[in-house]
Amino acid sequence: MKFKAGNSYELPVKERIVQGNSQYFIVEHDGVEYRIRLYDFQKEQKDPATLLCLARQVQDGTIALVQDYSAFLDQFYKVGEEYPFTVVSGLKGYELPYYTVRDNHGLIFNLANFGKAKLMPYQDIRCRVTKIDRYRLRLQLIDDEQVQRKVKFYSLPAIGAELCIGAEARLAESLLLADASYADIAAAYSSHRGEWVLMFLSKVRDTIETMHYRTLRRHIRVLRAYVSVCLFLLEESRLISSLDDTWRTRWRRRLEGYVRHASTSIRALEMIDSGKHTAYLDDIIAKMRQSGYLYNPGDKLEVMNAIFALCPDIIEQRMDDILSIISDGNHSNWSQDPFRSAFIRVLDSYVRLNKTRADGLTYDDRAGRDMLQRMIRVLALRLLLSSKDDDFDIQEYRAALVRYLVFENEALAPDLLRKAFEAAAGTSESPLRFGWKSLDNLKQLALEAASADLSSPTSPSSAQYYMGKGAGLVATRESLHLVSQSRGGVNRAILPVDMLPWQNIQIYTSERIAALPEGCDDLDALSCFWADVEHALYEPGSLTRPSRANLRVVDVGDTVRVYVSEIEGDGRLFRVKPVDESISNGEGTLSLSEIVKYDVYGMAIDDFRDDFNNALVFDAKVLSLGSGDEPRYTLLPAIKDMVRNDLDEDTPLECLVMGWTKYKGRETYLGISAQGDPVNIVTESTKLSKGDYVVATYMSMEPTGRLLCRYNRPVDEDFNTFTPHDAIRTMLFLLKSSVFHIPETMDLASENTDDDLPESTIEPEHVVELIHIIDRVGSLESSYLRRFNYMAFARMLARLIDNNGLVQYFARRMSFVRRLRTFVSSGYINVDDIRADEENSGDYPVLEMRSRQLRILSYIYDSSKNDFLWDIIAGDYDETSVGLAKLALTANLSMEMDVDEAQGAITGRISQLLNIEVKIQQPIFLGEETQTLEFKSSYICPEDGLHIDMPRQRDHILQRICGFLNSAQGGKLYIGVNRYGYVVGNDDLYHHLFGGDRDKYELRVRNDIRINLGGAANDCISTLWLDPAESGGKNVFVIEIRPNQFGTEYGGKYWVRQGTSTYPYTRKEFLAMQANRTLADAQ
């Protein structure tokens, strides 16, 4: 049985599983298992025998099932009645804002009808049910002052007065109202809502370890005041008693937990303040290593964890000891509480503190290798200590562990990364296949993880979803698709085939994006393409669309490249579409009679596809235009051309006899050739029958397109027979001009239901893990273009979950690729950008490494930096940095010795070391800068710059031109030559702005000179492009400047060339200099 969107199905429940904070029922249908999320009220109930499930979407064979709780709503709610709810989150949405609210059963709903009320998280409200729409409630907020104010309000000064800490309370009040991170709490406090204190204590509890004060003792005083407030609310205030039974019990437990946690933190802080924490940790670690036990372990381990939480650096120092104790100690003891829970807290803290940095590491240096191996052991031990009853996201840890193991054994990368993907996406559940002893050999651990069987896999057609802002992520065991949520049209696949082959990655959007040529190897084109993709997904409508004036309209007689999109009726009428989407009226019809002059019933869409499901493309002529200017096409002219080109007179054709007729007064047999041509076969006396296979000789082609043939003989006995269907398929393949990959389509919302979008079943943390898995896949690619594309897709996923840190991280990684490519191709690099990169590398060592490599490259041909290069070679750095430093040092020494051949070989070796395939030419040296010779790499980018800043660079160049105009000898300015005299060309940059048009480039330079320096200066200047034989085929623009005897001013200064520099002078200083120059000439 196939699922149908919008229908409900009662399916048997096999078991219940726990994953992180969520629980799931595993239901089964036709041998396939599906995960269905439980609601809060079901977690305490027994598992039902069956579960009512709703098919939320059926798209391209993809099935999504969710729990159908429409029956619950009828039991819990009645239209017109009022019910209590609790606000879960602040205002969401833009065009249709709403609040998210939770009922007493744990069900979540949207509240869109709230009037002008401003609601706060944790706030209790009452709403009237206006409509029950299957599994939705339409709610209306009731403005009930009694409900909104039922929690007794206590101000901070009032609490301070009760506890004799008035000054501290007033200070806390001013900080609360001023701190933006407490905005929601401050709003509730200012509105005298009693919930503020519960919100405030909860937030402080979550940030105890990250609070920063001038002294530890002040931190201790703050926590003691916090404990006092909690005890006051528990024992002396009326706040708890003002709550209903459910909330009263809940908040009593929370406040008691706050007191215990803060008291433990105070003990730990007092030890740290007195310096006794080191001895305390030494003692605990020594005893656990010696005996495997502690007296009163719960209390001691709580303090140990508090010390670690308050001083994260200590975890780094002690982690190897902790790992050694866990892996080498009494495993049966460690697997029981309180040891198990204490070790889990330490391991989780280490992962939380270091995972971001570990995700940015490589095995290229010793420090990175050591940290990654430690992280692997931490994750493995955490999984070994876990229990199925833990509130623990085992899949996220499992995915990270398997991904990190790729560093240990890259030969297993395909299997490891696939299992990491399945764990992160939730498309299967992989059991643990390693034990405590496996931690001694990480390569063996990688082998065991790669060979793990999959248990309880979901069906390949069952999808998991993450719904983000603007797009949704759809994952199956075989694919990963990013789909636009825009309702502006049909979402079509936009990535070229095999652009990102891993997991068949694809992106779907309804926006029109300029297609990339097949096998595109232009990094600039790829950068523009991904920028368009980002706009299409997250800023729909921002892409420039072609106006109707730019669209092509076809007319009768035009030839259009079309493909068959669908079959109509009995298979003799075909709908066709143009390959060129710029044709406004290209979609039309093509009948079988306009292909062949015989009937073939039952033509299917597969007849117009090749073995790879690509559409056959035909050069069709517009025969006529119907209503709405819809074209009717014919292939007969193309068939006639093919016959004329392929058949000569007396060419033998194998034919099938299909009937007979009178033709020009004589008996003629109708037939079809093996190539699909309709034929008329004439005979002298031989009688033929329908179904005979014969050999006929081609004589001519009739105006109707039929071939006139003369009967020759029967076919040979071993002849392979054919059907009319076979013949026309042969003709179609002979007739096609090319093939066209039809973009697949996908929509997140089903057209058959009134649901908006499927529910998210992938957690945001899992999407982060998917991002790093994709990045790891890309890092193993040999092509730098393929690596760039995987990084770009990972960045799209980072935008999906609104993770700005990862968005910027991948943007900078992609920038490094572009800059390295530019350097390899032109020797062009920006020192200022490198300095900014080094200052903003954050927690990502790979950014530090790339910044260091760029800095090394910037020191090529700069022998003053040789000491820095020697330090890199002698230091403990990654192999690529050391290799580049050696090559840079060699280049500098060869430059001093003027060894051009060595310099060319060095540049090629740098390309190989960076794994960037760019054709390297022998560097061309034009000399050094002199009094009359100046070199500039670009007219667009500042010296040694990569980013476009035309105003700044134009100002710089105009100063130099002005300097030559005001000097006695004039000079030449070469644009496209670096400061060391080597030709780099303008190719990468002037193509970007001027489309490679030399006339536009020269006009821009001329206009800048005329507007800024004046007509007289412009008359002193001539321009030319350096001969390709002198520039190695690169674009080098030369400005020849003759002296201007009247002087030229620019920017209020008179610039003068002196040696290889240009200096500004006032008018008075310049006139004096000119007078002295005239006097010297006269003498």
Token pair in block for residue 575:
């709908």
Residue, of 1064 and 667, whose pLDDT is higher: 1064
Q: For 46-55, 126-135, 241-250, which range has the lowest pLDDT when averaged over its residues?
A: 241-250
Q: What is the pLDDT of residue 523?
A: 84
Q: Which amino acid is at 863?
A: S
Which CATH class name applies to 558-744? Answer: mainly beta
Cα–Cα distance for residue pair 337/356, rounded to 1 Å: 29
Residue, of 583 and 930, whose pLDDT is higher: 930
Is the pLDDT confidence value at 953 over 50? yes
Q: Which amino acid is at 394?
A: I
To the question of domain 933-1082 being in CATH 3.30.950.30, the answer is yes
Mean pLDDT of the chain: 81
Report yes or no: 728 and 594 within 8 Å, Cβ to Cβ.
no
Cα–Cα distance for residue pair 937/822, rounded to 1 Å: 12
How far, CA to CA in Å, does 403 sit from each of 422, 450, 784? 11, 10, 21
**All residues at 6 or more sequence positions from 514 whose CB lies less than 8 Å from its CB, including other chains:** 528, 529, 532
Nearest to 603 by CA among 616, 619, 622, 585: 616
Is the pLDDT confidence value at 694 over 90? yes
Q: What is the pLDDT of residue 751?
A: 38
Kindly state the DSSP code that residue 982 receives in the 8-state scheme: B
E strand spans, 664-706: 666-673, 678-682, 693-701
Q: What is the pLDDT of residues 504-552, one digit of tens each?
A: 999 998 887 777 776 788 887 888 889 888 888 888 765 554 444 446 7
Q: Which amino acid is at 88?
A: V
Q: What is the pLDDT of residues 739-780, one digit of tens each?
A: 777 766 666 654 333 345 566 678 889 999 999 999 999 989
- Beta-sheet pairing, 707-714 with 678-682: parallel
Report yes or no: 710 and 653 within 8 Å, Cβ to Cβ.
no
Is the pLDDT confidence value at 595 over 90? no
In this structure, the chain runs to a length of 1083
Give the H or E element holding residue 750.
Answer: none
Give the H or E element holding residue 692.
Answer: none
To the question of domain 8-72 being in CATH 2.40.50, the answer is yes
Report yes or no: 943 and 830 within 8 Å, Cβ to Cβ.
no
Nearest to 438 by CA among 491, 495, 377, 488: 377
Q: What is the pLDDT of residue 30?
A: 82
Three-state SS at 573:
strand
Confidence class for position 946, pLDDT limits 50, 70, 90? very low
Is the pLDDT confidence value at 88 over 90? no
Token pair in block for residue 408:
């240990």
Mean pLDDT of 596-610: 80
Is the pLDDT confidence value at 998 over 60? yes
- Beta-sheet pairing, 480-484 with 506-509: parallel
Token pair in block for residue 388:
């199925």
**DSSP string for residues in 330-393:** -HHHHTSTTHHHHHHHHHHHHHHHHHHHHHT--TTSHHHHHHHHHHHHHHHHHHHH--TTSS--
Is the fold of 558-744 the same as that of 933-1082? no
Three-state SS at 745:
strand
Kindly state the DSSP code that residue 922 receives in the 8-state scheme: P
**Annotated domain spans of the chain:** 8-72, 85-148, 151-275, 558-744, 765-914, 933-1082
Q: What is the pLDDT of residue 654?
A: 93
How far, CA to CA in Å, does 1041 sit from each of 141, 500, 671, 962? 78, 52, 81, 9
Three-state SS at 708:
strand
Q: What is the pLDDT of residues 107-156, one digit of tens each?
A: 888 888 787 777 777 777 888 998 887 667 888 888 655 444 456 778 88
Kindly state the DSSP code that residue 780 receives in the 8-state scheme: T
Q: Crossing angle, helix 195-206 and helix 216-235, to 10 degrees?
A: 140
Phi-psi region of 447 (alpha: psi -120 to 50; beta: other; left: phi over 0): alpha
Q: What is the pLDDT of residue 148?
A: 47
Q: What is the pLDDT of residue 840?
A: 64
Cα–Cα distance for residue pair 437/375, rounded to 1 Å: 17
Residue owning tokens 């009326």? 238
Mean pLDDT of 451-480: 72
As a whole number of angstroms, the longest Cα–Cα distance in the chain is 126
Report yes or no: 265 and 209 within 8 Å, Cβ to Cβ.
yes
β-partners of residue 935 are 974
Report yes or no: 798 and 807 within 8 Å, Cβ to Cβ.
yes
Q: What is the pLDDT of residue 837?
A: 66
Mean pLDDT of 668-678: 90
Q: What is the pLDDT of residue 673?
A: 92
Cα–Cα distance for residue pair 963/969, rounded to 1 Å: 10
Mean pLDDT of 687-695: 92
With residues binned 3-state (H G I as helix, E B as strand, rest as coil), the percentages for the chain, rounded to 5, are: 45, 20, 35
Kindly state the DSSP code that residue 534 receives in the 8-state scheme: H
Q: What is the pLDDT of residue 921?
A: 53
Residue owning tokens 């030419």? 921
**Phi and psi of 775, rounded to 5°?**
-60, -40
Confidence class for position 417, pLDDT limits 50, 70, 90? very high
**DSSP string for residues in 171-207:** HHHHHHHH-GGGHHHHHHHHTT-THHHHHHHHHHHHT
